């Protein structure tokens, strides 16, 4: 039972911070890093195909 209470509390804590400006900024940063990683991967793939 205590595990269920802890899990429920954690779920509400995570859901509660989903709309904060800090969370949106972190999501934006993660999107930017993801885009940069995909771009770097694509450049390396093109380089391997060409060379």
Q: Residue range 15-40: average pLDDT?
A: 88
Average pLDDT, the chain: 84
The alpha carbon torsion through 35, 27, 24, 28 (nearest 10 deg) reads: -20
Per-residue confidence (pLDDT) for residue 6, from 0 to 100: 76
Q: How far apart are CA 17 and CA 23, in angstroms?
A: 7
Q: Are 23 and 17 in contact (CB under 8 A)?
A: yes
Backbone angles phi, psi at 33, to 5 degrees: -65, -40
Query: Does residue 43 carry a pLDDT above 90?
Result: yes
Provide the pLDDT confidence category of residue 16 given band limits of 50, 70 and 90: low
pLDDT value of position 20: 85
**If you average pLDDT over residues 19-35, what whole number do you get?**
91
């Amino acid at each position: 039972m205590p595990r269920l209470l802890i899990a429920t509390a954690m779920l509400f804590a995570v859901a509660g911070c989903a709309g904060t400006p800090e969370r949106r900024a972190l999501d934006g940063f993660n999107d930017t890093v993801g885009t940069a990683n995909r771009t770097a991967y694509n450049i390396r793939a093109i380089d391997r195909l060409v060379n």
